[in-house]
Structure 1
Amino acid sequence: MEKKPKGPPLDVHLSLISSSMAIFAVLFCVLMVVPSVSSVGAPAKSDSFTPPDSYLLDCGSSQQTTLSDKRVFLSDQNSREYLNYEGKDLVVSVPKADVPLPIYLSAKVFSSEATYTFRMNKAGWHWIRLHFFPVSGNGANLQQSKFSVISDSLVLLHEFSLGKESGWVMKEYLVNVTNQQLSIKFNPAKDSTAFINAMEVVSAPDMLISDVGNSLVPVAQTSGLSQNSYQTVYRLNVGGPKVESQSDTLGRTWAEDRQYLKPENAGRNVSVEPKVIVYPDGNSPLIAPPSVYSSAMEMGDANTVGPNFNVTWSLDIDTSYSYLVRLHFADIVSKSLNDLYFNVYVGGKKAISGLDLSTVAGDLASAYYKDFIVNSSMGVSSPLKVQISPMNEAAGTKNALLNGLEVLKINNSVNSLDGEFGADGKTAGASRGSVAAVGFVMMFGAFVGLGAVAVKWQKRPQDWQKSKSFSSWLLPLHAGDTSFMSSKSSKTSLGSRKSAFYSSTMGLGRYFSFAELQEATKNWDASAIIGVGGFGNVYIGEIDNGTKVAIKRGNPQSEQGINEFQTEIQMLSKLRHRHLVSLIGYCDENSEMILVYEFMANGPFRDHLYGKNLPFLPWKQRLEICIGAARGLHYLHTGSAQGIIHRDVKTTNILLDENFVAKMADFGLSKDGSDVEGQAYVSTAVKGSFGYLDPEYFRKQQLTDKSDVYSFGVVLLEVLCARAAINPALPREQVNLAEWAMQWKRKGLLEKIIDPTLVGNIDPESMKKFAEAAEKCLAEYGVDRPTMGDVLWNLEYALQLQEASLKGKTEDDNLAVASAASPSPAPAPAPSTNLDNKSVSSSEQAKQPSEVQAIDEHSGTAMFKQFAELNGR
């Protein structure tokens, strides 16, 4: 990372340590102890960090140097504590120069090999920052110096020279130190010298780059990211001013981004107060400070942009290396949740499709980051382009944003960050054959469309290419349109890291060995089976010292099961939503096809409605579960460019977690709308469950998202009537729930057939609104059915009516006790609903009683207002 006085702002000179680190250094200086930091200190908090190791050296200075931020750089002059150098000391210094810091005014010069050694108090990530400025004097021509710098076995600089450049330079590295001491060796080229002005070796938090699971990098490596070393190439505060190191949580400097924006007027700066930024679980200000997330670049012409318009950052890179690209997001522009969907591109390839920050980050102004690996073997081009653009297919505000951008170079195959030569003299060319082979395999993998794959590849079992193995049919799936939505914060124990790595297909998460899953299910004990399907069995298991998971083990003898398994992989590899069951990982060992999901403690929704003698679900809770399922389906239909049709919506595929949060499951029959781009339907053989099948789909074999809407209408009737969609044991006219219930609805007597436990506990207006929604879903022709966005709006309204009714009853009871009862007006139904693709007008809303308009953020209706204008989103 280089910077001249008037050069690019990304190669920053300051890279300062955080305030806590500065205080630590000052205290030690005052106490006159050894300048290496003690390992004793207060436990690090999520928003602060005290480095176990902190070495700051002003090389060649005759005395310690105190910077304006109170950091103290100790002199290395007349001290052999750190420096091992057999040659004659040569020091060059000047009283003043055009440099940002006084540590550049002196330099230590070496005519032969010299090594600085630092004792490490704790292993882990460490910053190494090297400061260079060609100070003139004492007959030394540092401008022409040529030398290499090696840290242990890692080449930091190879035959480095400032050449014609006369400005100052700072190089920043992030290395994982595993030994008790760290050495930094300066090796002059023949007939030349080496020099250094100042040096920093400072601990960094482990969370900065974890081994596995903290980010969605499309890699296929066994050891994870912590086995690599990195050099900071770009660190940009997008849309905001330069963030100096004293304002950063880890002493980093974030440069302005404008000079990399192409064209400059494509984006517009936006900002909020840093205090409004929140950090959800699994994130921390140590990743990036609030000052980065509180500013952003949005579309220059938000909400009126053309379909191909985007904001582009062009970044020059060395294409012989791979890079970790970290993108920082916080939705500081939206006024409501689920209103902003946009696409993200890295290297000209779609990296994130339909990013919904309010879902993945959990709230507005909530910090969120995403990591990607851009691999040299897949044809990286320079400049590297990072782009954002609106998702024009989705409703809501047509906008996109980016808050921060980091690009870190990854060491090559000979452990070098500069040039093709390793510390042992070997060249990267010796391993190019294996790298090319990896690139060839990956080219047929899920990252063809991304152009982003890993540096290393785990050797697979010998029979991994068998025709029915998991990997053999997994590799070609969904190239080019993968949504990176899985959790950044999943962790594995040290014992399981050997088998935990990123799949060659993006989104599959953690790799499990067959032995691990065999142990988790007690050798596939039949008593652990919690589900059975065409693919095979689903088992409950325990991993990582007690974490419960659902383990779906494919049956290799079932061709239908294999097809459904493959489809489920395709869907889950690009989907992530609070109301969709999450995929944790997989196993493809010895031709097995095993997927591991989050465990849904309360099982299928159907079990709580009838047949299992489980506790009664009140109407309000049933509504909240329906709303959650509707949100999941709405996301499927609108969250990607072409949308996804579930095709098997039923109460057994709506699962409930320990808090009764509903999540859609079982995507084995799902269809991607991209199969028929440009058409309004998918021509396909009829599949689904009897009782839920769309009659139009059955007749024409033309599948649309309105087929899911019809099935969801049947689900709503199951919820209301607490009986199966098809029950052959009943009289003929009652066998089909949809037909039977609609007959009673048309008679105006639907309340006669509802679940008896709901009688007297359901608000009539709430039931009426709910029944109207179900009736619209069950329209004979798809064109007459509402979208899932419309259904969601009406379910929210039905819930609001129920809550208003409960509130009114409570108030009535209290007033009666006080002998001052004044009847509350009954909640009126909405004069107009968007079941007919109309939104409720503001004048009509004004006529609704205050009890209906009040929204409790914990009631499940806090999002109600934003749905008033969904109109088929």
Structure 2
Amino acid sequence: MEIKENNRFSSISSPLMSSSSMAILLVVLCFVFNDPNAAFAVGPGASFIPKDNFLIDCGANKELGALPDGRLFQTDEQSEQYLEANDHLVAAATPETKAPSPVDLTARVFLHEATYIFQMAEPGWHWLRLHFLPVKSNDFDLLQAKFSVVTEKYVLLHSFNLNNDSTFVLKEFLLNITEPKLSITFFPLKNSAAFINAIEVVSAPMDLIADSNMELSPVGTIEGLTKYAFQTLYRLNMGGPIITPRNDTIGRTWETDEIYRTPKAAGRSVIVETNSIKYQDGLEEIGMLIAPPSVYASAVQMGEAHTSVPNFNVTWKLEADPSFGYLIRFHFCDIVSKALNNLYFNVYVNGKPAITNLDLSHKLGSLATAYYKDVVVNASLMVGGLTVQIGPANVEMGDTNAILNGLEVLKISNSVNSLDGEFGVDGKSTNGSSRGTVAAVGFAMMFGAFVGLGAMVMKWHKRPQDWQKRNSFSSWLLPVHAGDSSFMSKSSYGSHKTNTGLGLGRLFSLAELQEATKNFDPNSIIGVGGFGNVYIGVIDEGTKVAVKRGNAQSEQGITEFQTEIHMLSKLRHRHLVSLIGYCDENSEMILVYEFMSNGPFRDHLYGKDVTPLSWKQRLEICIGAARGLHYLHTGTAQGIIHRDVKTTNILLDESFTAKVADFGLSKDAAMGQGHVSTAVKGSFGYLDPEYFRRQQLTEKSDVYSFGVVLLEALCARPAINPSLPREQVNLADWAMQCKRKGCLEKIMDPLLVGATNPESMTKLAKAAEKCLAEHGVDRPSMGDVLWNLEYALQLQESFSQGKGEDESTVASVAAVAPATSVDASTNAPNSIERPVVQVEQSRQPVEVEDVDDDSGSSMFAHFSNLNGR
């Protein structure tokens, strides 16, 4: 945490607040307790007693007594346990020096390494606040001081310097201390000094930071946050005044948001009485410690709220180091709505959807109720600083408005436990090298510039034969056990080099794929995902292919590439995607698939202007997808769980043959276990509620998702449609309600009425109902589902033959549509029985290939606003 003059939580180079704000802040930059047993308290139920409460006035020769806010600072010489230093100096402020507190008017100066040691009363989260004000020193100009500050585990400041700025700076850190003592060591750089005006080490609530949280990119859940250290960069009270430590529940300061809002007119403030703010039942105490009512009693809403066609978002721009990841905490409280279910809005971080279609009153059951949401953003998204935006959701209901009540931004320590710079306490850098190694590499690079160039020219032709393999992405990304690649012989796709040993088929050159995609022309993009873009290309004089080009900057892309290659290299089935080849030239990560001319199944059910599918075609497509999933579950020794079954991941070729696509989230089933324990990932509306609750993934999770697919085929509407009345938003819930009431035919696709055998429709609906059972043990296997679908098809064929109908359908090529995804759960019922009738099993759809439009791992993405017929 940094203070530049009065700007307490901004970075050093952030804009300054007004002089009036500075005057207020200088008076109140203090905390509210005066002894280790004091408690922060604001309102009923909100009290916190810090067991560790070390307040050190560094460099002072006598105790100042209680400050106006009641706190009592000790000098650093009152107890020898605090300071260990061979030599140290004292600096004091001149009379005209402005300081937020009297404790900042003196400083301890170190010319050599010095350590403060604090004995901890309890482990857990602790605030560490370091005060810096370059007061007058006869021995050293503190404006020129340059030093580092570390604990036993974390680098807090590296080569820190005030850059000739004489204003006060406060650095605030949040550390999870697990050892019985905390050591804070100051290291002056060569020919320099270190200094400190005051130190605060204070216990923080254990529930302040959860161990598991949502990560924005790659989208999913990040675990182990309690193992990291944090530095507070911003703590903003949106739309309201400064909140002082005296008025906060655990002694924090919240500054106003106006200087970060661009333009200011884009948002306007709304403020209500603090006594109108409520917290969720049973969570009042921790809720008030997360943020006081005064944060939730003010908000920024859209400056032109309630306009019919808004074309803007409210934006805040914040400076941030792009080398680090950040935990961003959003605070919400609906103090603008007059009725429930009237406010839907989205939140974006650096252009990425972080929260979509947020309906606070539905989530909380009431208005004016506090709610917060944490999002972790890694360094790959931090280029250009940090931008936070709110805007109205794309739904046809409620007010056209968006709100934000509070915002906190905390920097997360990197892989070497540093919060400043790339080196850890042990000298290791984030790339695995040490400081000595870096220096040696620098010398070697200079030497190699002269010697190496000539050697490269002379020796290049003698490089090892396996050089390409050892230096390609496939050498570290591909699985050891590759599958059979005979399906992709030279005769199939020209006389080009193949890589049969890896099971990846043809090895394309980058030039070939550039030519095939017109140099990756943006107009050739047919899909976008966390991995990068998917392009349509033409190879070998007319063969269309789908080219999935990985984004080297995306961790999500690397993970999904690794998973997809791992799966495709050992799977071969006519109803699963097939790989044509790959390219790993110039650090590119590109996979080439067969082009699926008819796109996703969803496009032919709703949302696209294409010829609708007959009931028979829908059944055949569902059967093909079921066969693919059944093979996944049973065709390998371990079994594979797809984890993202949905209509956008079932692709259709020119013959409308179905193939299951996108294995970026797939998991091997655990040998000898009934489940895989893993973070919840999937798509909103398809997510198995049991998996969501227990974080235990099973094959029955795919069965649940496939049940939703069956309902989409029947009803021709999305799994989630926020524009519908609440009880109809979730297709699985709504369809099962209708089925129990005996009126399922009222919500089926009107185009199927009269052309569908009622028994066939009932058979599919019953299969869907069994798939959607709330408990996995009550759901059928994919083999049972397949059996029932085959039976439903047989019933429909008999019905059609009896009526003499021609069910041929002319299919149109549909562009791949963006997938919608979020995280949620649904409810459902029981088990399935096999039909007595023997079913013809010889029908085997043809081959098809996929390039999914958008990876299903995006748990928070825009809704496509697709409406059913």
Structure 1 length-normalised TM: 0.54
Q: Who is 1:131 aligned against?
A: 131
Gap change, CA 1:349 and 1:461, over 3 Å in 2: closer
Q: Who is 2:58 aligned against?
A: 59
Equivalent residues in 2 for 1:777-856, closer than 5 Å: none
Cα offset, 1:408, TM superposition? 0.6
Verify the 8 A CA contact 1:16 1:251 in the aligned structure 2.
Answer: no
Cα offset, 1:138, TM superposition? 2.5
- Please give the alpha-carbon distance, in whole angstroms, between the structure 1 residues aligned to 2:153 and 2:642: 48
- Please give the alpha-carbon distance, in whole angstroms, between the structure 2 residues aligned to 1:121 and 1:330: 36
Q: Who is 2:397 aligned against?
A: 395
- Please give the alpha-carbon distance, in whole angstroms, between the structure 1 residues aligned to 2:247 and 2:47: 12
Q: Counterpart amino acid of 1:228?
A: Y
Equivalent residues in 2 for 1:26-65, closer than 5 Å: 47-65=46-64
Verify the 8 A CA contact 1:393 1:638 in the aligned structure 2.
Answer: no
- Please give the alpha-carbon distance, in whole angstroms, between the structure 1 residues aligned to 2:59 and 2:703: 58
Cα offset, 1:139, TM superposition? 3.1
- Please give the alpha-carbon distance, in whole angstroms, between the structure 2 residues aligned to 1:3 and 1:304: 38
- Please give the alpha-carbon distance, in whole angstroms, between the structure 2 residues aligned to 1:80 and 1:106: 19
Q: Confirm whether residue 583 of structure 1 aligns to residue 692 of structure 2.
A: yes
Q: Who is 1:116 aligned against?
A: 116
Pick one of 649, 655, 666 that aligns with 2:735. 649
Q: Who is 2:633 aligned against?
A: 556
- Please give the alpha-carbon distance, in whole angstroms, between the structure 2 residues aligned to 1:697 and 1:236: 53
Q: Secondary structure at the match of 2:431?
A: helix
Q: Who is 2:748 aligned against?
A: 694
Show CA shifts across 1:354-375 (max 9, x none): 1101122221111111111111
Pick one of 275, 289, 295 that aligns with 2:292. 289
RMSD: 5.3
Gap change, CA 1:199 and 1:445, over 3 Å in 2: farther
Verify the 8 A CA contact 2:5 2:169 in the aligned structure 1.
Answer: no
Verify the 8 A CA contact 1:108 1:196 in the aligned structure 2.
Answer: yes
Q: Secondary structure at the match of 1:122?
A: coil
Q: Who is 2:787 aligned against?
A: none
- Please give the alpha-carbon distance, in whole angstroms, between the structure 1 residues aligned to 2:733 and 2:722: 14
Cα offset, 1:80, TM superposition? 1.4
Verify the 8 A CA contact 2:345 2:392 in the aligned structure 1.
Answer: yes
Verify the 8 A CA contact 1:636 1:644 in the aligned structure 2.
Answer: no
- Please give the alpha-carbon distance, in whole angstroms, between the structure 1 residues aligned to 2:752 and 2:564: 45
Q: Who is 2:590 aligned against?
A: none
Q: Who is 2:357 aligned against?
A: 354
Gap change, CA 1:701 and 1:196, over 3 Å in 2: farther
- Please give the alpha-carbon distance, in whole angstroms, between the structure 1 residues aligned to 2:703 and 2:92: 62
Gap change, CA 1:16 and 1:572, over 3 Å in 2: same
Show CA shifts across 1:503-549 (max 9, x none): xxxxxxxxxxxxxxxxxxxxxxxxxxxxxx9999xxxxxxxxxxxxx
Verify the 8 A CA contact 2:77 2:83 in the aligned structure 1.
Answer: no
Gap change, CA 1:374 and 1:562, over 3 Å in 2: closer
Cα offset, 1:51, TM superposition? 1.1
Q: Counterpart amino acid of 1:115?
A: T
Q: Who is 1:413 aligned against?
A: 415
Q: How many residues align?
A: 548
- Please give the alpha-carbon distance, in whole angstroms, between the structure 2 residues aligned to 1:214 and 1:443: 16
Cα offset, 1:557, TM superposition? 4.0
Q: Who is 1:805 aligned against?
A: none
Verify the 8 A CA contact 2:350 2:388 in the aligned structure 1.
Answer: yes
Cα offset, 1:465, TM superposition? 3.7
Q: Secondary structure at the match of 2:422?
A: coil
Q: Counterpart amino acid of 2:402?
A: A
Cα offset, 1:90, TM superposition? 3.4
Q: Who is 2:240 aligned against?
A: 240
Q: Counterpart amino acid of 1:306?
A: V
Verify the 8 A CA contact 2:37 2:51 in the aligned structure 1.
Answer: no
Q: Confirm whether residue 335 of structure 1 aligns to residue 444 of structure 2.
A: no
Q: Secondary structure at the match of 1:275?
A: helix
Q: Who is 1:271 aligned against?
A: 271
Structure 1 window deviating more from structure 2 (579-588 vs 105-114): it is 579-588
Cα offset, 1:473, TM superposition? 10
Q: Who is 2:146 aligned against?
A: 146
Q: Who is 1:201 aligned against?
A: 201
Verify the 8 A CA contact 1:342 1:390 in the aligned structure 2.
Answer: yes
Tell me which of the two structures has the higher relative contact order, counting C-alpha pairs closer than 8 angstroms and 6 or more residues apart: 2
Equivalent residues in 2 for 1:177-188, closer than 5 Å: 177-188=177-188
Structure 1 window deviating more from structure 2 (646-655 vs 266-275): it is 646-655
Cα offset, 1:701, TM superposition? 9.8
Pick one of 418, 425, 440 that aligns with 1:423. 425
Q: Secondary structure at the match of 2:34?
A: helix
Equivalent residues in 2 for 1:379-778, closer than 5 Å: 379-430=381-432, 443-444=530-531, 465=567, 556-557=633-634, 566-567=645-646, 573=682, 575=684, 583-587=692-696, 594=701, 635=722, 637=724, 646=732, 649-651=735-737, 691=745, 694=748, 696-698=750-752
Verify the 8 A CA contact 2:132 2:197 in the aligned structure 1.
Answer: yes
Gap change, CA 1:562 and 1:418, over 3 Å in 2: closer
- Please give the alpha-carbon distance, in whole angstroms, between the structure 2 residues aligned to 1:644 and 1:579: 13
Q: Counterpart amino acid of 2:531?
A: F
- Please give the alpha-carbon distance, in whole angstroms, between the structure 1 residues aligned to 2:643 and 2:219: 25
Gap change, CA 1:81 and 1:633, over 3 Å in 2: closer
Gap change, CA 1:413 and 1:87, over 3 Å in 2: same
Cα offset, 1:131, TM superposition? 0.2
Gap change, CA 1:209 and 1:78, over 3 Å in 2: closer
Show CA shifts across 1:735-794 (max 9, x none): xxxxxxxxxxxxxxxxxxxxxxxxxxxxxxxxxxxxxxxxxxxxxxxxxxxxxxxxxxxx
Verify the 8 A CA contact 1:586 1:594 in the aligned structure 2.
Answer: no
Verify the 8 A CA contact 1:217 1:371 in the aligned structure 2.
Answer: no
Gap change, CA 1:534 and 1:208, over 3 Å in 2: farther
Cα offset, 1:576, TM superposition? 8.3
- Please give the alpha-carbon distance, in whole angstroms, between the structure 2 residues aligned to 1:192 and 1:464: 54
- Please give the alpha-carbon distance, in whole angstroms, between the structure 2 residues aligned to 1:82 and 1:202: 15
Cα offset, 1:101, TM superposition? 0.9
Verify the 8 A CA contact 2:69 2:246 in the aligned structure 1.
Answer: yes
Q: Counterpart amino acid of 1:224?
A: G
Q: Counterpart amino acid of 1:230?
A: F
- Please give the alpha-carbon distance, in whole angstroms, between the structure 2 residues aligned to 1:455 and 1:6: 42
Cα offset, 1:690, TM superposition? 7.7
Q: Counterpart amino acid of 2:415?
A: S
Gap change, CA 1:141 and 1:25, over 3 Å in 2: farther
Equivalent residues in 2 for 1:303-314, closer than 5 Å: 303-304=306-307, 306-314=309-317
- Please give the alpha-carbon distance, in whole angstroms, between the structure 1 residues aligned to 2:754 and 2:731: 16
Gap change, CA 1:285 and 1:654, over 3 Å in 2: farther
Q: Who is 1:173 aligned against?
A: 173
Q: Counterpart amino acid of 1:334?
A: S
- Please give the alpha-carbon distance, in whole angstroms, between the structure 2 residues aligned to 1:696 and 1:397: 31
Identity of aligned residues (%): 41
- Please give the alpha-carbon distance, in whole angstroms, between the structure 2 residues aligned to 1:22 and 1:417: 30
Gap change, CA 1:578 and 1:95, over 3 Å in 2: farther
Q: Who is 1:162 aligned against?
A: 162
- Please give the alpha-carbon distance, in whole angstroms, between the structure 2 residues aligned to 1:261 and 1:342: 18
Verify the 8 A CA contact 1:149 1:158 in the aligned structure 2.
Answer: yes
- Please give the alpha-carbon distance, in whole angstroms, between the structure 1 residues aligned to 2:62 and 2:395: 64
Show CA shifts across 1:312-355 (max 9, x none): 00011111111111111000000110011111111111112211
Gap change, CA 1:595 and 1:230, over 3 Å in 2: farther
- Please give the alpha-carbon distance, in whole angstroms, between the structure 1 residues aligned to 2:686 and 2:192: 59
Cα offset, 1:468, TM superposition? 7.0
Gap change, CA 1:572 and 1:191, over 3 Å in 2: closer
Q: Counterpart amino acid of 1:290?
A: P
Gap change, CA 1:594 and 1:18, over 3 Å in 2: farther
Verify the 8 A CA contact 1:229 1:411 in the aligned structure 2.
Answer: yes
Gap change, CA 1:701 and 1:262, over 3 Å in 2: farther
Q: Counterpart amino acid of 1:429?
A: N
Structure 2 length-normalised TM: 0.54
Q: Secondary structure at the match of 1:5?
A: coil
Cα offset, 1:16, TM superposition? 6.5
